[in-house]
Structure 1
Amino acid sequence: MKISVVILTFNEGIHLQRCLDSAKSISNDIHVVDSFSTDNTSHIAKQNSVKFYQRKWENSHAKQLNWALATLPFEGDWILRMDADEYLTDELIEEMKIKLPHLDSDVNGVYLPLQRVFLGRHIKRGGANGVKIMRLFRPGKAYSQQKWMDERMVVPTGSTTTFKGAFVDENLNDISWWIAKHNQYATKEAIDLLSASFRNPDLRVQDDTLKRKTTEKVVYNKLPLFIRAFLYFFYRYFIQLGFLDGKEGFVWHFMQGWWYRTLVDVLLLEVRIKYGKDTEAIKTYFLKEHNIDF
């Protein structure tokens, strides 16, 4: 049973070696798709003798990933999608080696639990730990949702299963980088929420896990601006016991659960004040100011 790995990169020199070392523990068919990095990302990839490609970034993670899945010559029976700031736990590595060869032929995707490390601390509570994400799938059996943020893999046919072993998301950049990145994310998140308000979500090809995630987004989108960000933080930090993760946990839940989502709502309010419900004017604004065509 052979596993291929696909990793999208842009200026990931700080993370890539760690990611590749982890990927090599389960694969000798590793594909790195780079968006013309200006740091030492390409040097690290070539030093490790992985398959390295460069493709212009089209301002969409989904487009880049779907291009890779449709184009690259994967040799594996399964494809593992990794971000450069992620690595695999020993438990997951062992579980993949033992279980993958024995899965039923109708199983086309595997959900993997996420462990998040922030400011050096494993964030165990507040809904941050153990989130199931589709990351392992058979070639030709999965694609990425065409969303600007929080895109998920869709497995439209066959069944899916879940492994117990986790992968770890641990970004090593400083908090200033994190804030700048989430400022960019907020614009894309605002676009996704606006897009959702223009149309009904299609749940027909989604399994239960993805359907539940989409439904939660729909419910959140219907709540009042700003109040929903506070309620979300309150739920995560107090009801889901996020406060037990110490200072690092507070920073994570405050910044990612309240500050970030408040920033999204500020952007939505700004657009509503300027353009009301004029969808064409809204689309023109995001294309002109942010080079995003939705």
Structure 2
Amino acid sequence: MNLDLTVIILTYNEEIHLRRCLENIKNIARTIFVIDSYSTDRTLEIAQEYNAIILQNKWENNHAKQLNWALEHASIQTQWVLRLDADEYLLPELLDELIRKVPVLPGDVSGVEFKRRHYFLDKWMKHGIYPVFQLRLFRYGKGICEQRLMDEHIQLLEGKCVVFENDFVDHNLNNLSSFCHKHINYAIREAIDLLDIELDLFGYSKEEDMKILAAQAIHKRMMKHRYVRMPLFWRSFVYFCYRYFLKGGFLEGKEGFLWHFLQCWWYRTLVDAKVLEIKRACGTDKEKIRIYLERVYGFNLVKK
């Protein structure tokens, strides 16, 4: 059953994932837009097999900017928009829930949160992180992506949000080297995000902006504001202990240890190393930091 639904998928060289994603949602989506950043593999060929509408836009190392570009330039004719990454898919229970509930949602509901399951080395990381609630479904024209380099969420411009019972899955099929390289690239963006919270470099982390986020997004953001106030390097160790021991990540065996070590301790330590590097070069001088980020890392961000 096709819903009054457009699916937007951002891609760059996603041939390993895209067919699984498109096969998953082809029977519920009226329209599928693949917003591609000039892939060089079979991504576009696979998208064409599923009659997806392909739009290409240069990637500027900013998911929020790319998604908002899609919302502005895609000829969306449906009432609802679902945002997915190519390495994500909806569980059958969630597909059934969408078919049952979306057509009868009240007019004052503009967004829907789903629970995300994260798979690492083909194992569900049920302990330590699950469930994560994310707003992925929203009425067209009633939601945009907040402008942040990391941890970006859909903001509702009006209406309220409800939570569905079932899950979607984040299951990346690439190897550990790809996982580590991706997080190395994320580290500078996360460091900028933390510095923005601490020093208000660009105004992307203002607390008043949280008022139009979903409840768990607000909670997560407030936890991040608390995290910023903790000492460098010590905070990454505390975060690992919280997720691995207190939240039960150790129950997931070897895969659970690797996931929490790499994502909580190694990655967060790398982020803090970037923060230290920037502060050693610039102190806390906002203008020096902005110039440094543009010169060294190519981030030319405009203050909000």
Measured in 2, the distance between the counterparts of 1:162 and 1:204 equals 17
Measured in 1, the distance between the counterparts of 2:147 and 2:164 equals 26
Question: Match of 1:291?
Answer: 298
Question: What TM-score, normalized by structure 1, do the two folds share?
Answer: 0.97
Letter in 1 for 2:259: W
Tell me the secondary structure at the aligned position of residue 292 of structure 1: coil
Question: Match of 1:134?
Answer: 135
Cα distance, 1:196 vs. partner?
A: 1.1
Tell me the secondary structure at the aligned position of residue 165 of structure 2: coil
Instruction: Find the partner of 2:238 among 216, 226, 231.
Output: 231
Measured in 1, the distance between the counterparts of 2:92 and 2:211 equals 36
Instruction: Find the partner of 1:28 among 14, 27, 30.
Output: 30
Could you list the per-position Cα deviations for residues 146-194 of structure 1 after superposition, in whole angstroms to 9, with x for gaps in the alignment?
Answer: 1101111111311100001111000011000110110000010001111
Question: Match of 2:183?
Answer: 182
Question: Match of 2:4?
Answer: 2
Instruction: Find the partner of 1:125 among 121, 124, 127.
Output: 127
Measured in 2, the distance between the counterparts of 1:104 and 1:179 equals 43
Question: Match of 1:195?
Answer: 196
Question: What TM-score, normalized by structure 2, do the two folds share?
Answer: 0.94
Instruction: Find the partner of 2:269 among 254, 262, 283.
Output: 262
Instruction: Find the partner of 1:222 among 217, 229, 240.
Output: 229
Structure 2 spans left out of the alignment, 5+ residues:
201-205
Mapping for residues 1-294 of structure 1, pairs under 5 Å = 1-127=3-129, 129-199=130-200, 200-202=206-208, 203-294=210-301
Letter in 2 for 1:201: E
Cα distance, 1:208 vs. partner?
A: 2.7
Q: Given that residues 242 and 253 in structure 1 are in contact (C-alpha distance below 8 angstroms), is that contact kept between their aligned partners in structure 2? A: yes
Measured in 1, the distance between the counterparts of 2:81 and 2:40 equals 27
Q: Given that residues 25 and 93 in structure 1 are in contact (C-alpha distance below 8 angstroms), is that contact kept between their aligned partners in structure 2? A: no
Equivalent pairs counted in the alignment come to 293
Measured in 1, the distance between the counterparts of 2:30 and 2:162 equals 24
Q: Percent identity among equivalent residues?
A: 45
Structure 1 spans left out of the alignment, 5+ residues:
none
Could you list the per-position Cα deviations for residues 16-58 of structure 1 after superposition, in whole angstroms to 9, with x for gaps in the alignment?
Answer: 1011101213113100000001111111111221111111112
Tell me the secondary structure at the aligned position of residue 16 of structure 2: coil
Structure 1 runs, 4 residues or longer, greater than 3 Å off:
none
